[in-house]
Amino acid sequence: MLQVSYIREHKDYVLERLAVKNFTDVALIDSIIELDDERKRIQNESDAIASEANASAKMIGDLMRQGKKEEAEEIKSKSSVYKEQVRELTDRLSEVEKELLSKIVLVPNLPHVSVPLGKTPDDNEVVLTHGEIPVFDTQAIPHWELLTKYDIVDLELGVKVTGAGFPVYKGKGARLQRALINFFLDQAGEQGYQELEVPIMVNEDSAFATGQLPDKEGQMYYVTNDDLYLIPTAEVPVTNLYRDVIVKQEQFPIQHCAYTPCFRREAGSYGAHVRGLNRLHQFDKVELVQLVQPEKSYEVIEEMSSYIQGLLQKLELPYRVLRLCGGDMSFTSALTYDMEVYSAAQERWLEVSSVSNFETYQSNRLKVRYKNDEGKMTLAHTLNGSALALPRIVASILENNQTANGIRIPKVLVPYTGFEVIN
């Protein structure tokens, strides 16, 4: 979340940047500043009364030592009034702080100055395109038909066991999944990311700290009896490892990777664009997370983008990079690049990765700080990226590499799969 002090000191700039995300609730910003004024007034009044109470206590002690018991008792009788006043102010302060928090979490992160204007995905900026789109002699077969033809993923069996959006991977399909996971983890390790294995359920504090709550509660699966949430991405548990932690500056950059299954309700998702593996409720993903000094975070996001592009190049997949416009960005992001792979059979681009810089939006909730060179306690910047999400990568590999003799496996994956063709 944004810092109240920053909103106060840069109100006009905050409103200007928020307008890029199509946020125009000036009244909310005004109410946040007013509540902060009220918070400060109550705190000052409470401090003043506490100071009077302390002075009175010292005076009582002095009078008692001088044998002036009656005068001391007279002052002492007023101390209960001080206590009641402080108690009332403390209760009021708690109410104001709670209301202030409830309002400030409704304000999205400020978009970076490079974020283009726009309201829909059509307004996203194409940064670059790489690779050649495959051309077939005959009509390319969509991956959902290839899954059945080669018996590698059973969508209907998943419906039987759980429901739509929970596929069952079989034989070479399961091997391909495992190969991709291991390849992505090995590549991340070579890049300097420390591999973690983390819980796939988190508590409410963790979901709040990374910004899933209160913005995305409708997209997460909730375990009612235990008050836990199934993770939508490993970003949530990995980043929360540093909640309420003061890190040492020499630890930067903090780089982690983690493979987890991910769970998303994707409420309201219907139509041809979600067929097959295009959109699932459960899917596998390798996630990258970094914590860095503020002055380095925009250099780091470019490095992360380049690294993810390198994975797509090794998989021999044509892709493009988009800089998301204000209207298509997440609530918490300051800058997001999407990587999309071209699907030959569907004849459209499929998002396979997002890499985002959250600046201090998450770290302010997490309270993850460090001492800078001047010895000042400073919030770190947090970033994450998919490297990569598997379903649409699998779909693109199947569709783009289909031949008359089966589906060709990218060379870089053959040591992991143990086979060169799915047939």
SS3 249: helix
Confirm or deny that 352 is annotated as ligand binding: yes
Reply yes or no on whether the pLDDT at 226 is more than 60. yes
Reply yes or no on whether the pLDDT at 255 is more than 70. yes
Confirm or deny that 264 is annotated as ligand binding: yes
Q: Which of 145, 121, 358 is nearest to 239 (CA)?
A: 358
**In sequence order, which residues have a C-beta less than 8 Å from that of residue 144 and are 6 or more positions away?**
155, 275, 276, 277
139 and 11 housed in the same domain:
no
The answer to whether residue 413 is domain-embedded is: yes
Assign 270 a pLDDT band (cuts: 50, 70, 90): low
63 and 94 housed in the same domain:
yes
Percent of the chain with pLDDT over 70: 97
Mean pLDDT of 313-326: 98
* pLDDT at 272 (0 to 100): 54
Confirm or deny that 233 is annotated as ligand binding: yes
Residue 108, both tokens: 């999205």
60 and 164 housed in the same domain:
no
pLDDT digits (tens, 9 = 90+) for 98-127: 999 999 999 999 999 999 999 999 999 999
Residue 207, both tokens: 């979901």
Domain boundary among 43, 70, 104: 104
* pLDDT at 9 (0 to 100): 96
In the 8-state DSSP scheme, what is residue 412? G
Confirm or deny that 353 is annotated as ligand binding: yes
71 and 128 housed in the same domain:
no
Distances (CA, A) of 399 to 208, 362, 387, 407: 39, 38, 20, 8
383 and 343 housed in the same domain:
yes
Domain boundary among 104, 129, 149: 104
178 and 84 housed in the same domain:
no
The answer to whether residue 24 is domain-embedded is: yes
The answer to whether residue 111 is domain-embedded is: no
Q: Which of 47-56, 129-138, 215-224 has the lowest mean pLDDT?
A: 47-56
248 and 178 housed in the same domain:
yes
Confirm or deny that 384 is annotated as ligand binding: yes
The answer to whether residue 116 is domain-embedded is: no
User: What is the identity of the amino acid at 389?
Assistant: A
126 and 161 housed in the same domain:
yes
Q: At what angle do helices 171-190 and 297-314 cross, to 10 degrees?
A: 140
Confirm or deny that 56 is annotated as ligand binding: no
What is the separation of C-alpha 152 from the centre of its chain, rounded to a whole number of angstroms?
Answer: 32
SS3 334: coil
Mean pLDDT of 169-177: 98
Mean pLDDT of 219-224: 93
Q: Write the CATH number for 354.
A: 3.30.930.10
Burial-class residue 277 by CB neighbours within 10 Å (0-12, 13-18, 19+): buried
The answer to whether residue 281 is domain-embedded is: yes
The answer to whether residue 65 is domain-embedded is: yes
14 and 156 housed in the same domain:
no
Assign 63 a pLDDT band (cuts: 50, 70, 90): confident
Q: Using the structure block, give the residue that is written with the tokens 């819980």.
A: 199
Reply yes or no on whether the pLDDT at 327 is more than 60. yes
Strand order in the sheet with 406-408: 402-403, 406-408, 421-422
The answer to whether residue 248 is domain-embedded is: yes
Q: Write the CATH number for 20.
A: 1.10.287.40
Question: In terms of residue numbers, what domain contains 306?
Answer: 121-422
Confirm or deny that 105 is annotated as ligand binding: no
Confirm or deny that 412 is annotated as ligand binding: no
95 and 146 housed in the same domain:
no
The answer to whether residue 114 is domain-embedded is: no
- Report the C-alpha gap between 13 and 66 in whole angstroms: 61
- Count the alpha carbons within 13 Å of 393 in the hemisphere toward its beta carbon: 32
pLDDT digits (tens, 9 = 90+) for 345-380: 999 999 999 999 999 999 999 999 999 999 999 999
pLDDT digits (tens, 9 = 90+) for 286-302: 999 999 999 999 999 99
Q: Please give the radius of gyration of the chain, using alpha carbons only, rounded to the nearest integer.
A: 27
148 and 69 housed in the same domain:
no
**In sequence order, which residues have a C-beta less than 8 Å from that of residue 356 and are 6 or more positions away?**
301, 330, 332, 333, 334, 335, 336, 337, 383, 384, 385
What's the structural domain count of the chain?
2
pLDDT digits (tens, 9 = 90+) for 33-55: 999 999 999 999 999 988 887 78
**In sequence order, which residues have a C-beta less than 8 Å from that of residue 156 and are 6 or more positions away?**
none
Mean pLDDT of 202-231: 92
Q: What is the mean pLDDT of the chain?
A: 94
pLDDT digits (tens, 9 = 90+) for 83-95: 888 889 999 999 9
Assign 388 a pLDDT band (cuts: 50, 70, 90): very high
293 and 334 housed in the same domain:
yes
More confident residue, 268 or 225: 225
Assign 68 a pLDDT band (cuts: 50, 70, 90): confident
Domain boundary among 70, 104, 138: 104
